[in-house]
Structure 1
């Protein structure tokens, strides 16, 4: 779990939902879907917001999920209490365009770190990406069994298991339609959140090699009232993993402070 050390108070006071995005994890992976921002939002609405009749909630997201989270918060600006964005890939409007800037920065032809290599492979070398998905993603259960035998670990970390639970179709279209396509819409969504005074908390590690640190600073400039926390000696992954307890405590304090203030 991402939050293994939640307090008893939080468990009693909140209903927590960990969402597998459409096309990833255990969520459906339709072949006739283009995995647009609208598709992802509709999945969250149909699986979480509508069934549980959520009319007041907080949103927490990491990396690519931040784009979807900002869009969701803007759509439900009267219901969302706060939004916590961890390493948000935000690129302000420019002459070259936010979408092109996002593609060049987040899918550059690099072999390190591994996440950027994967993004480059899926974005620029489509046939190779399809081969990887065919060999590994399509047969992820077989590879999981092999990994369990080699490591003698019965319960593999979810971050390892979920890594291959997608298809090339879902990964490729999500990459282009969310990170690149959604980049040009973020300014509008942030304007909506600013007008609605939705509490925004931005977190990023100062050693992040996947999402440039300037993304968080630029988002802070776009939404000046947002709180920005730069975590020393943390990268794109360890900004959460390896410091789960600290991350959880800070998040709980944030939620309590907002809810207590609204009650007063």
Structure 2
């Protein structure tokens, strides 16, 4: 009996080992092919950009390891450029496949005047909706503002302010369609709400001469919300990538922030290793399954493959939207499907690396400052989140013991809100009411 059990155990381990080897081999082969494909597309895009725009667009395939591309960040913006932009390994690039290409200049283009201040690439969408911001000389974010309802004369008081920041490949619709639509009468009366389209997403500007660093995002939020509306105090609510920007904003305006609600915050302690590369490897691990993570890996590791995807989907979003309406028999699409394509490759690529990955090296300092100031922090995370691992919220709890952590069972990265909008909104209202006074002591 014992011999039979041992044999069964060895057989099971052998099969598991074989399965693991096959999956690892297949994964290596697929991503090796993608390495080659991305390097080849680099050559193709250099030719197309030179032909259509007068000069090859710079990319991060070269050996240069410093400086931001097209960065208008200015000042100390250089330090906010993520190491992952040049630190992504590509077998064929390291073999020197692109060295000759970097010195290449197409015949007939030498001496040709080059205009580099155009605001979009030939491969970006040029529809009215996508370029409407380009005619505004004073660039500001698109912000949906919901003013409070008129209160009775007896209870009239200054409303409190709440700023919402969305996650990657999303927009202000993420909040207006979920939270704004489910607010109680009391919240509508006592609060003023700001749902922001972050720089490079939704209906906000998508400038090409920008590195989309944390500094760029913070500057635009200040310019578009905090300064024009003269906000002296506010609550912050953020999802996923927006949490990194929210922590930076809260660290800068410590005395003004009443509460911070973070939903699925990506945080990896910098003491473990290079925080930026750790964030890239954790959030965009090279895996074939599930499809969502495979897509994240392709879009995060391969600059030119990502540009191809954006060329096919984002540039032709109107066509895809019509097709989806026909297939689903709907006159209106779900806001998430629309938001998915409302960006340029330049804005999404740089925000992914310079905020999600590059911002990781600053979050420890932000959290330390908020710990010392005893900031009111509430964290909400789904226990089935495959995009941002649950360990991220636990990491913040260890860093800031007084932070509240609410784990939602059977919820993934978006279902932590979608599908439970009313319960989520009531939770937010409870947080705002609990921390309504800046002078209130923590429990």
1:50 to partner: Cα distance: 1.1
Contact 1:113 1:210 (C-alpha < 8 Å) held by counterparts? no
Question: CA 1:20–1:81 in 2, change beyond 3 Å: closer, same or farther?
Answer: same
Match of 1:64 in 2: 241
Q: Which moved more, 1:3-12 or 1:29-38?
A: 3-12
Match of 2:195 in 1: 18
The separation in 1 between residues aligned to 2:438 and 2:260, in whole angstroms, is: 16
Question: CA 1:111–1:20 in 2, change beyond 3 Å: closer, same or farther?
Answer: farther
1:207 to partner: Cα distance: 0.7
> What is the RMSD of the two structures over their aligned residues, measured on CA atoms?
1.6
Match of 1:212 in 2: 389
State which structure, 1 or 2, has the greater radius of gyration over its C-alpha atoms. 2
Match of 2:308 in 1: 131
Question: CA 1:113–1:65 in 2, change beyond 3 Å: closer, same or farther?
Answer: farther
1:2 aligns with 2:178: yes
Unpaired runs of 5+ residues, structure 2, are 1-176
Question: Secondary structure in 2 aligned to 1:228?
Answer: strand
Match of 1:250 in 2: 427
The separation in 2 between residues aligned to 1:79 and 1:99, in whole angstroms, is: 29
Question: CA 1:71–1:260 in 2, change beyond 3 Å: closer, same or farther?
Answer: closer
| TM-score with structure 2 setting the length | 0.58
Contact 2:268 2:279 (C-alpha < 8 Å) held by counterparts? yes
Whose helix fraction is larger, Structure 1's or Structure 2's?
A: 1
Match of 2:281 in 1: 104
The separation in 1 between residues aligned to 2:440 and 2:263, in whole angstroms, is: 27
- Name which structure has the greater RCO, CA cutoff 8 Å, separation 6+: 1
The separation in 1 between residues aligned to 2:219 and 2:438, in whole angstroms, is: 31
1:124 to partner: Cα distance: 1.4
Q: Which moved more, 1:17-26 or 1:107-116?
A: 107-116
1:186 aligns with 2:363: yes
4+ aligned runs moved over 2 Å, structure 1: 110-119, 260-264
Unpaired runs of 5+ residues, structure 1, are none
1:149 aligns with 2:326: yes
The separation in 2 between residues aligned to 1:112 and 1:12, in whole angstroms, is: 46
The separation in 2 between residues aligned to 1:53 and 1:252, in whole angstroms, is: 23
- Equivalenced residue count is 264
* Partner deviation per Cα, 1:52-101 (whole Å, 9 max, x = no partner): 11111000001111000100111111101111000000001234221111
